[in-house]
Amino acid sequence: MDKKLANLRVFVTGATGYIGSFLAKRLLEEGCTVHILVRNTSNLKLINPIIDNLFVHVYDGSYESIDRAIQKARPDLVFHLSSFASITIQTSDIENMISSNILLGTFLAEAMSKHRVTKIINTSSYSQHYNQQEYLPNSLYAATKQAFEDILLYYAHFHSFNVINLVLFDNFGPNDPRNKIMNLLFRALKNGNVLSMSPGEQFLDLLYIDNVIDAYMIAASRLMDGKGKNVERFAVRSSKPIQLKELVQLIEKISDKKISVRWGDLEYRPGEIMIPWSKGEILPGWSPSISLEQGISLYLQDDSKNQQRKEEGE
């Protein structure tokens, strides 16, 4: 437990998502008073086990609802994880993406400024760095993430915000409902279905969920210490990318089971990142405590326990 974080009042957006739910749980364990922002349509399943320990505020799409939430929460620190994430996008998704990734965040920043809340940890993405570029978004999602970073730059320089942007890479863990590559592989491993894949030559930089949450905790301590610059940006990555084909082999080795994959059935997506961004500064004081191999083993152990509980329940 980090004594610097105990008794802090914190405000979390995106707490109903996978990473956000783990973050909310860790913050409670650290002794924080945790306020979260949800929509009326939010699925609360991932936070149901801890919901009674959270202060819940509802965002109805208006600035006023966020203003009320920040006024009531009076947080020392804000964690902004809420986003609409999609690599391939339909035109019908555009309004939702702009609203979730730019408008909500700007409402949040404006309400923070009004109520003199100045510390925020924002969540960015390695997909803002296609082909190792300083900035080249591989999707509209990545472009909106950069847009909000730029908005926070304004609030940092003209409203005295202290900002840490954490650039996240691929991550995985137990009970993950997201349609991510690791979940597709684990499901194929479990049910024996044949998985259609690209040629599999792309590299992935993968972190177990606990490592990601550790990064948020270290960033929070850094902000509360006030040692950094008013705007900082750090990568949260393993720096040990693995090729997709090698990843399948690794899971097979650890599980002692085969995954049925038809390589080359699918083409690479437009903007597919073949080698993850490797140029950003790693968050000082942080390194992955759980290796990819250990993370895979932990996932398989957890899945086995869940299966056993289901069978015993039957």
Q: How far apart are CA 77 and CA 40, in angstroms?
A: 24
Q: How far apart are CA 61 and CA 24, in angstroms?
A: 22
Looking at domain 9-178+205-240+274-289, which of 3.30.1280.10, 3.10.20.30, 1.10.390.10, 3.40.50.720 is its CATH number? 3.40.50.720
Question: Computed over its alpha carbons, how large is the radius of gyration of the chain?
Answer: 20
Percentage of the chain beyond pLDDT 70 is: 98
Q: Which of 62-66, 180-184, 290-294 has the lowest mean pLDDT?
A: 180-184
Kindly report the pTM of this predicted structure. Answer: 0.95
Structure tokens at 16: 């109903």
Q: How far apart are CA 218 and CA 14, in angstroms?
A: 19
- What pLDDT shows up at residue 87? 64
Ranges of each domain in the chain:
9-178+205-240+274-289
Confidence of residue 1 (pLDDT cuts 50, 70, 90): low
| Backbone phi and psi for residue 83, each to the nearest 5 degrees, phi listed first | -165, 160
Confidence of residue 303 (pLDDT cuts 50, 70, 90): confident
Strands (E), 46-102: 55-59, 77-80
> Quick check: 167 pLDDT over 70?
yes
- Alpha helix ranges (H) inside the chain: 18-29, 63-73, 94-98, 104-114, 140-158, 181-191, 209-225, 244-255, 292-313
